[in-house]
Amino acid sequence: MKLRSFIALTLVMLATLIVIGCSRPPTAVEPTQLATESGETLRSLAAKQDMFIGSAVRPRALSDEPLYREVLAREFNIVMAEHVMKFAPLHPEREVYEFRDSDTTVEFAKEHDMQVIGHVLTWFHALPRWLREGDFTREELMGILREHINTVVGRYRGQIYAWDVVNEPLEADGALRETLWYKGIGPEYIDLALRWTKQADPDTLLYINDYGEGLNSKSDSFYNLAKSLVERGTPLDAVGFQAHIGFLSAKDAAEVAENMKRYADLGLEVFITEMDVPITMFKGTREEQLAAQAQMYEDFLNVCIEAPNCDTFLMWGFTDRHSWLTGFTGGKSPLIFDEAYHPKPAYHAMMAELKQHVGSGAE
């Protein structure tokens, strides 16, 4: 076993014993109790490697929970709105836009010197009723999408590091998903959305985002889609690997690393955009599940650090108190802080991984 892996594993197991050995239920703690003794954080270590590490966020938690704000600002240097920048929340009526919650996210990021990922401009979910039930011609639908992109991207011009322009364009088998946009406009809606976003903010990075990040037929289709966009001269800077581990996404970090390499050959960055790891995907005791979860986070973070075309790593939340899986499939403790904002073994594993690369020069 390599020395780095042995040290990291030892730290993970020690952290596991500390967390699990606490018999009382999770309770709120003071922010000063959460800081590491050294003062180092995920954010500070990532910054030493010119890397972005971050989380999807919820505006209500930003408003209502001081610990949520404190941990978010301390540990991360990039954020993404979990829901409030999707089409339906932003554009609930054809002539109405609601920017209050998305503004909250952007303003928080500004106040704490954080970057922002815009999520999402074009998706088959989270569409308002007026759009889903409308009887629009192709030209009308193109006009609606272009106007939406111009309005939203234009409002935040110069404030968004990267936009998730087209989310989940593929079915599980790799075929183009027959979304409202696909059926109403045609497959060229992807090119159009990217071009319109570039026009609305020439300086933001543009990416397409999907799951199925290993080596399989879907990832081949996603690669071929990106390749065709590049060859046509469509503006595209990156692809996003969602990494909802155990839910449609790849579990093999080595496969993900191999997949990343071919995007480098296209001149594209790869972002890890939505990672979470429910412990129930692992067998054994809770201690063993937490240790396995920690290893998975460490492995995927290592893949991103080692890849020359990956410098952005986001999770779909950071505390088990606020996880989409709680309402979707039941609570499965998928994130790196528990419900009381205590760091879990996964947090310590990520810290150890970043420290190792800082110490080695991260070549």
Measured CA to CA, the distance from residue 13 to residue 5 in angstroms comes to: 12
Q: Which amino acid is at 137?
A: T
339 among known catalytic residues: no
Residue whose C-alpha is closest to residue 190's, from 144, 135, 130, 236: 236
Centroid of chain to Cα 101: 19
Cβ-contact 340, 29 below 8 angstroms: yes
3-state secondary structure of 126: coil
Burial (CB count <10 Å: 0-12, 13-18, 19+), residue 310: buried
Backbone angles phi, psi at 268, to 5 degrees: -110, 140
274 among known catalytic residues: yes
**DSSP string of 309-331, one letter each residue:** T--EEEES-SBTTS-HHHHHT--
Catalytic residue among 65, 75, 82, 168: 168
Cβ-contact 310, 46 below 8 angstroms: no
Measured CA to CA, the distance from residue 236 to residue 319 in angstroms comes to: 32
Burial (CB count <10 Å: 0-12, 13-18, 19+), residue 340: middle
Catalytic residue among 75, 269, 274, 353: 274
Give the N- to C-terminal CA distance of the chain in Å, as an integer: 21
Count how many Cα atoms sit within 13 Å of the Cα of residue 25 in the half-sphere of its side chain. Answer: 0
Burial (CB count <10 Å: 0-12, 13-18, 19+), residue 136: middle
Task: For residue 285, count other CB atoms closer than 10 A to its CB.
Answer: 11
Measured CA to CA, the distance from residue 288 to residue 70 in angstroms comes to: 29
The set of catalytic residues is 168, 274
